[in-house]
Amino acid sequence: YRQAVIQNPKLSIAWHNMGVLQLRDVNKTFESMKLHTPPDHPLFPRAASLAEATRMILSPKKAE
């Protein structure tokens, strides 16, 4: 996708897809951090919060 937006910066779908892939990577990073960080560590709540936030962006609940 990076190459696609270099060649055509107006290619919205490539920007979108690249952003989704980056969000998935960010989510995996914070989920892994959560797994490997003791719950009493000062950064654990931040990892949990960011993992949840990125999960919600990637899979928002549908309005009822």
| Residues 16, 57: Cα–Cα separation, whole Å | 13
Mean pLDDT, the chain cut into blocks of 10 residues (64 residues total): 95 96 97 98 98 93 64
Burial 28-57 (b: 16+ CB within 10 A, else e): eebbebbeebeeeeeeeeebbebbeebeee
Looking at residue 38, its pLDDT comes to 98
- CA angle in degrees (0–180, nearest 5) for 2-48-21: 15
Residues 6+ apart with CB under 8 A from 51: 27, 30, 31, 33, 34
Domain ranges of the chain: 2-58
Looking at residue 60, its pLDDT comes to 79
Looking at residue 64, its pLDDT comes to 57
